[in-house]
Amino acid sequence: MSLRVISGSAKGTRLKLVPGDGTRPIMDRVKESLFNILGRAVIDSNFLDLFAGTGSVAIEALSRGAAFATLIDIDSKAIRTIQENLILTRLGERAVVRRQDAFTFLRGQPDRRYDILYIAPPQYKSLWSDALQLIDALPQWVHPTGQIVVQIDPLERANVTLKNFVVTDTRAYGNTVLWFFNWTHSPDLMNDTSVKLEKIVSELMILYAITAPPIPLERMLQAPAAGMWGDIDPSNISLSFFKVDVPFSPRMSLARFLARTIATSPWGIARGLNTFDAIDSDEVFQRFARTIMMPASMIQELQPDARKPALMSAHFEVPEDDAALRLFDVRDYL
């Protein structure tokens, strides 16, 4: 069965996809160009459409080989249209449709890393920049090789300061602009860093004979092996971190302090930890702290149904949010 659009001409109207006459889907120039640019990146991708409208863009991604799509929209009529279109296209088994505010969704914990995130909200409300900044604040939404696509009117273009992503391509089509964002750092560099961190933490576990959680942070700080690091000055630990009403937050703060202590010690420098400045050092130190608290080898020992943020929080004695982030860190290891 082929498909054709029978009403509407822009994302956000109630388009319907119905059986056609054997021709490929009729797409407007923007959508055609979008998927030509994305090319093979769509195949086997996880696709997120934050302001899904009729669902036509995510459905097109699924039809081109995307493995999975999440479609978000706050409007009940849009949700019904998306569901009808997924039934017509027989692509519903590879999609999840949520009636939810996109910003509420982005403030939650990511349920997966997405390869392509598509942002095409209602125009002239600066919603695109708000969504982009939320993703930038929690970049775990985006796979290390993933990208963000923003569709806006040229009049909406404005400077936006991002920490983790940078514009890599811009295409203009009349009154529509496609804006492509990728990670500011090399995905391969981040992957190499993750491997390095796992190896260093494995070495630490052997040195301290640690075989099971919770990780004894105080002992590691106060009793370093020869040649590792010197005396610890407790005044360097900010007390403000310990005044958070989140279970196990003090332990995670101490883990971040330990991560920085290790990275700046002769032992850490000898293992290349002082090269973190080559990418986003703050993100890497937080990842290093999570790796110390939840080594991949110990996560692998858990039963699959125990690899959930709430259960890992209790098992490793870490905040639930950090447990969720760590599950993404080790996604390729499990």
Domain at 126, CATH number = 3.40.50.150
Residues 179 and 273 in one domain: no
Residue whose C-alpha is closest to residue 158's, from 193, 201, 124: 124
For residue 264, the model assigns a pLDDT of 84
Residues 314 and 301 in one domain: yes
45 neighbors 67 (Cβ within 8 angstroms): yes
Last residue of one domain, picked from the residues 167, 184, 201: 184
Residues 23 and 144 in one domain: yes
Residues 89 and 113 in one domain: yes
For residue 2, the model assigns a pLDDT of 34
Q: What's the structural domain count of the chain?
A: 2
Residues 177 and 194 in one domain: no
For residue 9, the model assigns a pLDDT of 33
Residues 276 and 147 in one domain: no
pTM score, two decimals?
A: 0.55
Residues 157 and 213 in one domain: no
Name the stretches of the chain with pLDDT < 50: 1-15, 17-27, 188-189, 239-240, 277-280
Residues 226 and 155 in one domain: no
Residues 180 and 195 in one domain: no
Q: Return the beta strands (E) in 199-280 as ranges.
A: none
d(CA 94, CA 183): 26
Residues 121 and 193 in one domain: no
Last residue of one domain, picked from the residues 184, 215, 239: 184
| Domain, as residue range, for 150 | 3-184
For residue 64, the model assigns a pLDDT of 94
For residue 51, the model assigns a pLDDT of 95
For residue 189, the model assigns a pLDDT of 45
Residues 285 and 178 in one domain: no
Rounded to the nearest 5°, which phi and psi values hold at 160? -135, 130
Residues 321 and 235 in one domain: yes
